[in-house]
């Protein structure tokens, strides 16, 4: 299952007998950080240090002596359950003979270089009594200071074993205090932050929702050491489970005042049976650590995501016009023709046809029917999608389409044809979420069905250029007809089935842009994003709300992946809505034909500007300068890697009397020695420019004194572009 196991060069292999007396030190190093693992006298693998790199590599050997007790069971690098460790386990197994104890001792480790900057350390552990082997993987992205960590469990016993818990990672940090920033939410309220000091005992962040797993909160979190980290100071770890299903993260301040973080798939209702010689590979837990604040940590994460994780992270993205908010389900071919013309008129790259285009016996005219019947509705689209794709092409606009292929409405032909494909309890009343049920992706026949929906859309419509993949329901009444007596594998096999389908799609259509949507950000994680080019942060497109939602997402995900649409939500002027949507990948979801001429001209101009500044927003470094949670205004800056071009967005987020920025905004990330020309861009026709327009400043001045965007009630959003002048 894991794609990272093809190693190019084996650099070193160290072998030690089981339960070695010789102690081994394994430093796992990035450009700035070190994770040091160490075997104790019995060969158990412990974490002896995690933090900034030490100046002298020889010093790592001494970190093993930094325990209070020689055999510090609380520092296990992968805590096994049921033997000498009594701490929260990373792994728990019921053996073939029913025994539930596990002990893991070091056997060997090796490090290989996969490509420049990326290396993989593997550490093999074995139980001295039972034939179970566990390999820990540490994939290091050195320059980005990012590590992906996962494990592989192999059953060498003669009978089946049961994995009762199987975490991806088990970290161990040491500081005076630990501050957790976590997120909760719901539909249209994604990424609500909460920051709190962790007390002794275990704090768990988890989900049991199955498909739309992040609906009430994602797996991304950050932990600051000693005090809550600021944008530019403080030590902070960002972590996330790369898994689009049930996850669980335990954060335990233990009796030795260490912080143990155990993260991976949620073992809730999921004991996993492994047959003899079968292997279980966990998804990765990804993390980065910075001792220079949250801003630095986020920029590291973004670079990693663009270069190694999201599809086409350094590539292009398409601006678009979506029809969802202007038509909902009520459209026909003529309406769509009009919107395609609107897309052309606006100047976007693509028209995206949303929900409602399919179903005949049970037409998709609202959200009660049709899901599962992926044939064009003949009344709405008598000439099919093909005619629309052609129409768009003639207008020089690309065409994209919405699907929700994992789902089924009970009012659909699919539901009657394949009742055994539907996730539901055989003897219980059905319970719906948005009037729908989930298809059983643990079943290979369902995987084929879902793959073929997508494949045939592309085959029948060769010009199809974009896919929006939605997922609007959680899993109630989890039960798979296909899995028979292995029901406890369902949650895991569902996600594996989903990834299997996406693997097949990506093998055939490697770079076609695809939006990851789950009624908003209900499924945004790096497991899913390795198949998608972008995600839909929230159905809440009120730009004021979006400032906050996009702000929090920006800690973990790069702007290029954030699909932001201009809609009619909220009470802000059109300029404000466009300025907020520009802070990512710009799209529109408005009835273009109804726009007054000045608004239309403004949108057209905004798109031209966006095409000029998008490389800086997508590929540049982000600096969060003024925090909307603390100030009247939010200011966020993008600077290109050459430090020659930058874009500063400022938004008023408080409507009280006299609200606005009182002090200049100090920029970051510029070249102090160079001169920057400031231009106020994206001004609404007729609106005067602010006082900074046309000014020339040194980078040094801008970073020490700052500039005044003059944000207040009459200038509620201001965009400033900065460019170095030659010489």
Q: Can you give the binding site for ligand DGJ, defined by CB under 6 A?
A: 324, 354-355, 402, 470, 472, 517, 519-520, 536, 539
Query: Distance (Å, rounded) from C-alpha 335 to C-alpha 12?
Result: 64
Smaller CB separation from ligand DGJ, 446 or 517:
517
Minimum CB distance to ligand DGJ, residue 564 (Å): 12
Cβ neighbours of 425 (radius 10 Å): 12
Minimum CB distance to ligand DGJ, residue 322 (Å): 7
Per DSSP bridges, beta strands 105-115 and 178-184 are unpaired
Give me the residue label for tokens 């009430």: 216
Q: Is the dihedral of CA 259, 262, 263, 267 positive or negative?
A: negative
HSE (CB half, 13 Å, CA atoms) of 713?
5
CB 160 within 8 A of CB 274: yes
Q: Which residues contact 70 (CB under 8 A, 6 or more apart)?
A: 40, 41
Minimum CB distance to ligand DGJ, residue 351 (Å): 14
SS3 721: strand
Q: Where are the alpha helices (DSSP H) in 465-596?
A: 490-508, 526-529, 543-553, 574-581
Smaller CB separation from ligand DGJ, 135 or 472:
472
Minimum CB distance to ligand DGJ, residue 323 (Å): 10
CB 407 within 8 A of CB 367: no
Smaller CB separation from ligand DGJ, 295 or 537:
537
Query: Distance (Å, rounded) from C-alpha 723 to C-alpha 644?
Result: 6
Smaller CB separation from ligand DGJ, 50 or 467:
467
Rg (CA), the chain: 27
Minimum CB distance to ligand DGJ, residue 100 (Å): 44
Smaller CB separation from ligand DGJ, 27 or 522:
522
Smaller CB separation from ligand DGJ, 363 or 520:
520
Smaller CB separation from ligand DGJ, 402 or 576:
402
Minimum CB distance to ligand DGJ, residue 538 (Å): 8
Q: Contacts for 424-433 with beta carbons within 8 Å, 24 or more apart? A: 424/476, 424/477, 424/479, 425/477, 425/478, 425/479, 426/479, 426/481, 428/477, 430/477, 431/476, 431/477, 432/473, 432/476, 433/212, 433/472, 433/473, 433/474, 433/476
CB 346 within 8 A of CB 604: yes
Minimum CB distance to ligand DGJ, residue 403 (Å): 10
CB 572 within 8 A of CB 578: no
Smaller CB separation from ligand DGJ, 285 or 324:
324
Minimum CB distance to ligand DGJ, residue 338 (Å): 20
Q: Which residues contact 568 (CB under 8 A, 6 or more apart)?
A: 325, 590
HSE (CB half, 13 Å, CA atoms) of 508?
14
Closest CB to ligand DGJ belongs to which residue? 355
Minimum CB distance to ligand DGJ, residue 520 (Å): 5
- φ/ψ of residue 587, rounded to 5: -145, 170
Minimum CB distance to ligand DGJ, residue 367 (Å): 6
Q: Give the number of residues written for the chain.
A: 727
CB 377 within 8 A of CB 357: yes
Q: List residues bridging with 622 in a β-sheet.
A: 638
Query: Distance (Å, rounded) from C-alpha 539 to C-alpha 536?
Result: 8
Minimum CB distance to ligand DGJ, residue 45 (Å): 44
Nearest residue to 187 via CA among 202, 161, 203, 209: 209
Greatest alpha-carbon pair distance for the chain in Å reads 80
Query: Distance (Å, rounded) from C-alpha 557 to C-alpha 358?
Result: 33
Smaller CB separation from ligand DGJ, 536 or 610:
536
Smaller CB separation from ligand DGJ, 106 or 357:
357
Determine which helix (DSSP H) or strand (DSSP E) holds 425, and give its type and residue range. none
CB 113 within 8 A of CB 11: yes
Nearest residue to 344 via CA among 682, 568, 579, 607: 607
Determine which helix (DSSP H) or strand (DSSP E) holds 580, and give its type and residue range. helix 574-581
Minimum CB distance to ligand DGJ, residue 465 (Å): 18
Q: Is the dihedral of CA 52, 281, 495, 530 positive or negative?
A: positive
Query: Distance (Å, rounded) from C-alpha 194 to C-alpha 644?
Result: 36
Smaller CB separation from ligand DGJ, 308 or 536:
536
Smaller CB separation from ligand DGJ, 27 or 218:
218
Minimum CB distance to ligand DGJ, residue 240 (Å): 22
Smaller CB separation from ligand DGJ, 423 or 516:
516
Query: Distance (Å, rounded) from C-alpha 468 to C-alpha 487?
Result: 31
Nearest residue to 336 via CA among 346, 345, 326: 326
Smaller CB separation from ligand DGJ, 519 or 660:
519
Minimum CB distance to ligand DGJ, residue 359 (Å): 13
Smaller CB separation from ligand DGJ, 437 or 517:
517
Minimum CB distance to ligand DGJ, residue 310 (Å): 19
Smaller CB separation from ligand DGJ, 143 or 192:
192
């Amino acid at each position: 299952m894991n794609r990272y196991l093809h190693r190019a060069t084996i650099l070193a292999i160290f072998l030690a007998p089981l339960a070695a007396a010789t102690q081994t030190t394994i430093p796992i190093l990035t450009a700035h950080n070190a994770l040091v693992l160490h075997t104790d006298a019995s060969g158990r693998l412990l974490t002896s240090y995690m933090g900034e790199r030490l100046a002298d590599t020889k010093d790592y050997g001494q970190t093993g002596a930094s325990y209070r007790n020689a055999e510090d069971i609380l520092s296990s690098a992968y805590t096994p359950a049921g033997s000498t460790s009594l701490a929260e386990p990373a792994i728990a197994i019921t053996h073939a003979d029913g025994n539930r104890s596990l002990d893991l001792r070091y056997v060997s480790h090796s490090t290989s270089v996969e490509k420049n900057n990326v290396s993989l350390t593997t550490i093999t552990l074995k139980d001295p009594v039972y034939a179970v082997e566990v390999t820990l993987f540490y994939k290091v992205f050195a320059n980005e200071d990012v590590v992906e960590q996962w494990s592989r469990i192999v059953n060498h016993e003669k009978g089946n074993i049961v994995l009762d818990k199987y975490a991806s990672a088990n970290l161990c940090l040491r500081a005076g205090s630990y501050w957790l920033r976590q997120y909760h939410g719901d539909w249209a309220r994604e990424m609500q932050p909460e920051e709190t000091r962790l007390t002794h005992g275990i704090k768990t962040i988890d989900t049991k929702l199955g498909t739309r797993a992040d609906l009430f909160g994602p797996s991304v979190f950050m932990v600051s050491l000693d005090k809550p980290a600021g944008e530019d100071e403080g030590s902070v770890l960002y972590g996330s489970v790369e898994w689009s299903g049930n996850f669980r993260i335990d954060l335990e301040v233990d009796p030795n005042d260490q912080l143990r973080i155990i993260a991976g798939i949620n073992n809730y209702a999921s004991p996993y049976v492994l047959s003899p010689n079968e292997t279980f590979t966990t998804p990765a837990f990804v993390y980065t650590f910075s001792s220079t604040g949250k801003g630095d940590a986020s920029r590291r994460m973004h670079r990693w995501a663009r270069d190694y994780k999201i599809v086409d992270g350094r590539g292009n993205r398409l601006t678009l016009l979506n029809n969802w908010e202007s038509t909902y389900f009520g459209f026909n071919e003529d309406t769509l023709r009009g919107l395609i013309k609107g897309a052309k008129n606006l100047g976007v790259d693509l028209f995206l046809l949303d929900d409602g285009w399919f179903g005949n016996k049970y037409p998709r005219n609202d959200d009660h029917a049709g899901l599962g019947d992926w044939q064009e509705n003949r009344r709405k689209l008598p000439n099919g999608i093909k005619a629309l794709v052609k129409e768009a092409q003639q207008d020089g606009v690309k065409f994209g389409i919405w699907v929700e292929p994992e789902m089924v409405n009970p009012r659909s032909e699919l539901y009657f044809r394949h009742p055994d494909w539907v996730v539901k309890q055989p003897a219980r009343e059905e319970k719906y979420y948005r009037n729908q049920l989930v298809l059983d992706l643990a079943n290979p026949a369902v995987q084929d069905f879902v793959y073929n929906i997508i494949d045939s859309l592309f085959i029948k419509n060769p010009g199809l250029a974009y896919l929006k993949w939605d997922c609007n329901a959680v899993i109630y009444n989890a039960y798979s007809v296909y899995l028979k007596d292995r029901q406890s594998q369902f949650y895991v096999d569902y996600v594996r089935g989903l990834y299997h389908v996406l693997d097949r799609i990506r093998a055939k259509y490697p770079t076609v842009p695809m939006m990851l949507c789950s009624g908003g950000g209900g499924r945004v994680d790096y497991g899913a994003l390795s198949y998608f080019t972008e995600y839909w942060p929230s159905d809440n497109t009120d730009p004021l709300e979006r400032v906050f939602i996009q702000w929090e997402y920006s800690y973990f995900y790069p702007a290029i992946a954030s699909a932001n649409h201009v809609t009619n939500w909220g009470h802000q002027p059109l300029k404000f809505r466009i300025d907020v949507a520009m802070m990512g990948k710009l799209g529109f979801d408005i009835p273009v034909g109804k726009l007054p001429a000045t608004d239309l001209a403004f949108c057209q101009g905004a798109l031209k500007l966006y095409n000029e500044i998008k490389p800086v927003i997508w590929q540049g470094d982000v600096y969060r300068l003024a925090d909307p949670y603390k100030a009247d205004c939010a200011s966020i800056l993008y600077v290109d890697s050459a430090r020659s071009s930058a874009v500063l967005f400022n938004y008023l987020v408080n409507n009280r009397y006299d609200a606005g920025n009182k002090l200049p905004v100090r920029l970051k990330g510029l070249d102090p020695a160079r001169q920057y020309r400031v231009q106020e861009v994206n001004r609404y026709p007729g609106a005067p420019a602010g006082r900074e327009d046309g000014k020339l400043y040194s980078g040094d001045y801008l970073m020490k004194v700052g500039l005044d965007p003059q944000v207040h009630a009459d200038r509620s959003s201001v965009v400033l572009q900065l460019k170095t002048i030659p010489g």
